[in-house]
Amino acid sequence: MSGRTRAAGRGPAPGAGRVVVVGAGLSGLACALHLRGAGREVVVVEREPHPGGRAGRLDLDGFRLDTGPTVLTMPELLDEALAAVGESTADRLDLVPLSPAYRAAFADGSVIDVHTDREAMAAEVARVAGEREAEGYLRLRDWLTRLYRVEMRSFIDARCDSPLDLVRPDLFRLAALGGFGRLAPAVGRRVRDERLRRIFSFQSLYAGVAPERALAAYAVIAYMDTVAGVYFPRGGMRALGDALAGAFTKAGGAVRYGEAVTRLERSGDRVTAVITEGGDRLACDHVVLTADLPAAHRLLGHEPRRPVRIRHSPSAVVLHLGTDRTWDALGHHTISFGAAWESTFSEIIREGRTMSDPSLLVTQPTRTDPALAPEGRHLLYVLAPAPNLAAGDVDWDREGPRYRDSLVRTLEERGLDGLDASVRTEHLVTPADWARQGLAHGTPFSLSHTFAQTGPFRPGNTVPGTSNAVLAGCGTRPGVGLPTVLISGKLAAARVLAGGGRR
């Protein structure tokens, strides 16, 4: 039985059947931990030879690459999943708080270090933009904190199946905070400096919406980045999947690696078994599907009808560079902003082309953990937002290498002199590569967070016509991002424990 791992642990709850979780990504593992902690028998089936899902990995010439997300916030959600089986983050991970959380570099040559400590960031804002802006920052921070508290307890970490579920006291508190306005103006009312406005609104792009059009409610992403804190696990982001999977198997759960799921066996409105590529039949009382939504729907043989067309987020080009030097200007995370701003969103989202003056996220994990590269070497992860395959018609297999050269030239012009000559190994990922991994429209960011795809209007984690199948992951509620996929897994587990899907 290929790649099967089983650890001794508690037995199944009396009268409870087996749950099969398809996918050992972070949502699937969080779900499995919560179910195992409740005493359910759980088997996780994963097509890759390791856990993590989109938090992937690649070892190349002695460099240990994280191929998925690089920013970790809200580690208490990891702790919550691990606590379900009696463990903690401290048992499994060595998390390093990053200070600054980001370094923001601008086209005019100015640099702002983004601190999560209130006084340190106020002092930094005063240094670069004056006392008046520092006071505005403090107002912005307080607003972000109040917004987060309202949204987390009632709309993010909560079951929200229909618009009627929104009608609760916190809905009116959210409205009073301006959560249903637009993000960019909401930030702009508190800070006037254009650089600060960018720092506290660029995150909306990863939710698939330009700041001028995004709901102000999505400022909670900026809260997570700039107030709650950014962390990095020693060993790389791959350590997250290893930690969750290790705790799960220690608690008696089973993970079967290297086994793709090809179909679901059904009887009436119930899924009775999961069939793997190798022909194994895993009988189940419930199934949790964490694959990209189109793949999950193909397995279910059901494509739900929606009154409006599904919209996917922009994609990204990621360039991994193993170098023989580093640059003092780089932090662990550096946001390199171009002079252009609003036009970049239009180019990616509306015009379907690459940014003419790109804003880039450059991560140098070896600044925090040198062991991720051979001695004397350094690792860079360059993320450039890009149109998804539905929005644009870029021939990435042809244009990818040219775009790689363009990105390197841009970074050299912005201060990373000699970057190209320093490269000793590299790996390029384009939207075409994401598509080959099975991600719809070649985007790792799934569905965009438009109003019509937010809260109860986002695809839910139950499946009409199927009574015991539950969905989890970034395409379902509450949405995209490491914190939200962990919550998605927890909400999926609660569904199973409450009796399953929609009848």
Q: What is the pLDDT of residues 103-133, one digit of tens each?
A: 999 999 999 999 999 999 999 999 999 999 9
pLDDT of residue 166: 53
pLDDT of residue 82: 98
Q: Which two tokens stand for residue 351?
A: 């015009």
Pairing of strands 111-114, 102-105: antiparallel
| Inter-residue contact 114 to 250 (CB < 8 Å) | no
Nearest alpha-carbon partner for 195 in 341, 311, 298, 299: 341
- Residue the block writes with tokens 């409105």: 269
Max Cα–Cα distance, the chain, nearest Å: 67
Which pLDDT tens digits describe the chain residue by residue (503 residues)?
A: 233 333 334 444 443 589 999 999 999 999 999 999 999 999 999 999 999 999 999 999 999 999 999 999 999 999 999 999 999 999 999 999 999 999 999 999 999 999 999 999 999 999 999 999 999 999 999 999 999 988 876 666 556 555 545 546 667 788 888 888 899 999 999 999 999 999 999 988 777 788 888 888 888 889 999 999 999 999 999 999 999 999 999 999 999 999 999 999 999 999 999 999 999 999 999 999 999 888 898 999 877 666 567 888 999 999 999 999 999 999 999 999 999 998 998 999 999 999 999 999 999 999 999 999 999 999 999 999 999 999 988 999 999 999 999 999 999 999 999 999 999 999 999 999 999 999 999 999 988 877 666 666 677 788 888 999 999 998 887 878 899 999 999 999 999 999 865 43
Phi-psi region at 277: left, alpha or beta (left = phi > 0; alpha = psi -120 to 50):
alpha
Cα–Cα distance for residue pair 119/137, rounded to 1 Å: 11
Cα–Cα distance for residue pair 140/158, rounded to 1 Å: 25
pLDDT of residue 308: 62
In the 3-class helix/strand/coil scheme, how is 406-456 assigned residue by residue? HHHHHHHHCCCCCHHHHEEEEEEECHHHHHHCCCHHHCCCCECCCHHHCHH
Peptide bond into 97 cis (omega under 30): no
Q: Which three-class secondary structure state does DSSP give residue 464?
A: coil
> What is the number of H-type helices and E-type strands within the chain?
16, 22
Cα–Cα distance for residue pair 225/114, rounded to 1 Å: 9
Cα–Cα distance for residue pair 19/365, rounded to 1 Å: 37
Cα–Cα distance for residue pair 78/93, rounded to 1 Å: 10
- Residue the block writes with tokens 């640059």: 327
Nearest alpha-carbon partner for 242 in 40, 487, 24: 24
Q: How many residues does the chain have?
A: 503
pLDDT of residue 503: 39
- In angstroms, what is the C-alpha Rg of the chain? 22
Helix (H) or strand (E) holding 36: helix 26-37
| Inter-residue contact 300 to 463 (CB < 8 Å) | yes
| Helix, strand, coil abundance in the chain, percent, nearest 5 | 40, 20, 40
Pairing of strands 102-105, 333-336: parallel
Cα–Cα distance for residue pair 2/47, rounded to 1 Å: 11
| Inter-residue contact 82 to 91 (CB < 8 Å) | yes
State the CB neighbour count (10 A cutoff) for residue 472: 32
The domain locations on the chain are: 4-94+236-309+449-498, 118-228, 313-442
Q: If you classify domain 4-94+236-309+449-498 with CATH, what class do you get?
A: alpha beta
Look up residue 11 and give its DSSP letter.
P
pLDDT for 304-361, tens place per residue? 666 567 888 999 999 999 999 999 999 999 999 999 998 998 999 999 999 999 999 9
pLDDT of residue 359: 95
**pTM value?**
0.91
Neighbour-count burial for 106-120, b at 16+ CB within 10 Å, e otherwise? beeeeebbbbbeeee
- Residue the block writes with tokens 């580690």: 75
Q: Which two tokens stand for residue 15?
A: 């009268």
CB hemisphere CA count around 371 (13 angstroms): 5
Sheet with strand 95-97: strands edge to edge: 72-73, 230-233, 95-97
